[in-house]
Amino acid sequence: MTSATLLPAPVPAPTDPQLAVAEDLLTLLRTTVTEPRPDEQLEALTLAVAADLPVLLWGEPGIGKTAALTQLAETLDLPLTTVIASVHEPTDFSGLPIVGDDPETRGVPMAPPQWAVELVRAGRGLLFLDELSTATPAVQAALLRVVLERRVAALQLPPGVRIVAAANPRASAADGWELSPPLANRFVHLYWVHDREVVVRGLGGVWPRAELPRLLPERLSEAVAYARRAVCGFLEARPTLIHRLPSTETRRGGAWPSPRSWEAALTLLAFGTAADVSKGVLALLVRGAVGDGPGFELLAHIDRMDLPDPESLLADPASAELPERGDLRQAALEAVVAAVGARPRRERWEAGWAVLVRALETGAPDLLVAPATALAALRRDEWEVPEAVERLAGVIGLAQRAARSVDVVTGSPKSAAPTAAFTSGSPRSPRSPRPAAPAPAANSARTTATCR
């Protein structure tokens, strides 16, 4: 029996005092804090993670994608597992075949990689697939089931695992590839850019804090109904956008519309509504799911959905609630004019003027010029000019516009002279009535004073 020679344990070398001081300095440099700070791209990322949708961060090298993911994992208290896709083989995701005792009856199982086993053991985590645009087409194909079905070889990743990837544009990637359309269509694409104030403040030791959105329990059912109504209503009007594969290879590697990505947009819209996020955050998410063009169209459709019903405004002009945002306010006023034009009756025309007066009382007068001109053009010759016109005339010079519109409609110059009655805000002065059919006795005074 041979005895083994026991070697003395190595004695650690004495630490150089200057290296110890250097470590202290590095510790101070790496110590940072976070603060609540508005950051739309970070808010969009956290909402997509909360919605359990795979996210792909696009950005130039060194822009801070990896740092944002690291900070997100720390804030959410999720173990971060980083997998550099480009340095792996397809079998690292689909599994390595392991021959057992009886392969003819039991088959050949596919052994999962260690990182997947650890994720399953933890039951939760943030899987970060980095450098996705440098992964070969074969590796991208192997990632399809990982991203969509959350399967790695024979393992099913638990529901507590979220997936986020990062990629550089092909022009700035090391030996980069365009993403395959099937893989690209599985992600919500967010384009990561630097914000000067965030970078400066972060280098000073304070970075924005990544926080999960606060979903309001009482709004969940309403949010789902709203998202379904928005997406389904839009696709009914634009059925050609249900599935549109881009024509170029580069655009196929980004966000584009398909039933799968519309489902993602619907989910994000529901989460954004329940969390009451800003329009900017919602725009980033919707465009990241279905692409810029379809995303902008959906957002415009949503804005129109939020407009008040023009018939309700005409029914009670005095208490009309108009949107605060200028473009939405003007769209609501144009909808009122269109509703009057669809069913032109004198009382509806007068109610339309009352709505414009309400808009003047609650908002900027310059938005009234176009709808007022269009409403004036709807006037029939036998309709009297309502008193509401005088309140608008002094602000936007409505009289001349109304007169010119009447001339165009009737082909008569008779309204050119009496426009002075509406060019100022002063009380009306009596004038001889214009030639017209005899008016009822109850309206004779008003006809004499106003309709010339």
Closest by CA position to 374, among listed 352, 348, 347: 352
How confident is the model at residue 430, as a pLDDT?
34
How confident is the model at residue 80, as a pLDDT?
92
For residue 153, is it left (φ>0), alpha (ψ between -120 and 50) or beta?
Answer: left
Q: Which residues pair with 165 in a beta bridge?
A: 56, 129
Same domain flag for 173 and 286: no
- Let me know if 205 is exposed, middle or buried by CB neighbors in 10 A (0-12, 13-18, 19+): exposed
Task: In whole angstroms, give the CA distance from residue 223 to residue 6.
Answer: 71
- What percentage of the chain carries pLDDT values higher than 90? 39
How confident is the model at residue 387, as a pLDDT?
79
Q: Are 167 and 132 in contact (CB under 8 A)?
A: yes
Average pLDDT over every residue of 331-351 = 92
* pTM across the whole model: 0.70
Same domain flag for 139 and 228: no
Higher pLDDT, 126 or 76: 126
How confident is the model at residue 330, as a pLDDT?
87
Residue 65 lies in a domain: yes
Residue 344 lies in a domain: yes
Same domain flag for 174 and 301: no
Residue 9 lies in a domain: no
Mean pLDDT of the chain: 81
Residue 183 lies in a domain: yes
CA-to-CA dists, residue 350 to 76, 171, 345, 407, angstroms: 58, 61, 9, 19
Residue 436 lies in a domain: yes
How confident is the model at residue 418, as a pLDDT?
36
How confident is the model at residue 1, as a pLDDT?
45
Average pLDDT over every residue of 246-268 = 94
Higher pLDDT, 103 or 33: 33
Average pLDDT over every residue of 147-174 = 85
Most distant pair of Cα atoms in the chain: their distance = 135
Give me the CATH number covering residue 175.
3.40.50.300
Task: In whole angstroms, give the CA distance from residue 303 to residue 319.
Answer: 22
Name the residue with tokens 């050949």: 108
How confident is the model at residue 428, as a pLDDT?
40
Same domain flag for 423 and 379: yes
Q: Does the pLDDT value for residue 207 go beyond 60? A: yes
Tens digits of residue pLDDT in 127-160: 999 988 888 889 999 899 999 889 998 889 999 9
Last residue of a domain, which of 286, 305, 324? 305
Same domain flag for 286 and 227: yes
Average pLDDT over every residue of 402-426 = 44
Range of the domain at 286: 218-305
Tens digits of residue pLDDT in 44-85: 999 999 999 999 999 888 888 888 888 888 888 889 999 998
Tens digits of residue pLDDT in 427-441: 343 333 333 333 333
Q: Does the pLDDT value for residue 450 go beyond 60? A: no
pLDDT band at 448 (very low <50, low <70, confident <90, very high): very low
Range in 1-15, 31-45, 175-189, 334-348 with the lowest mean pLDDT: 1-15
| Strand bridging mode 80-84 / 124-130 | parallel
pLDDT band at 336 (very low <50, low <70, confident <90, very high): very high
Same domain flag for 318 and 431: yes
Higher pLDDT, 437 or 6: 6
Last residue of a domain, which of 251, 277, 305? 305
How confident is the model at residue 175, as a pLDDT?
62
How confident is the model at residue 427, as a pLDDT?
37
Tens digits of residue pLDDT in 410-420: 555 444 433 33
Higher pLDDT, 360 or 173: 360
Q: For residue 61, which phi and psi values (nearest 5 degrees)?
A: -60, 140
Q: Does the pLDDT value for residue 251 go beyond 80? A: yes
Last residue of a domain, which of 305, 333, 365? 305
Which 3 state secondary structure label does DSSP give 200?
helix
Residue 5 lies in a domain: no
What's the total number of domains in the chain? 3
Same domain flag for 226 and 282: yes
How confident is the model at residue 50, as a pLDDT?
92
| Strand bridging mode 55-58 / 188-191 | parallel
pLDDT band at 109 (very low <50, low <70, confident <90, very high): confident
Tens digits of residue pLDDT in 294-311: 999 999 889 888 788 889
Average pLDDT over every residue of 200-229 = 89
Same domain flag for 184 and 289: no
Highest mean pLDDT among 192-206, 211-225, 258-272: 258-272
Higher pLDDT, 71 or 27: 27
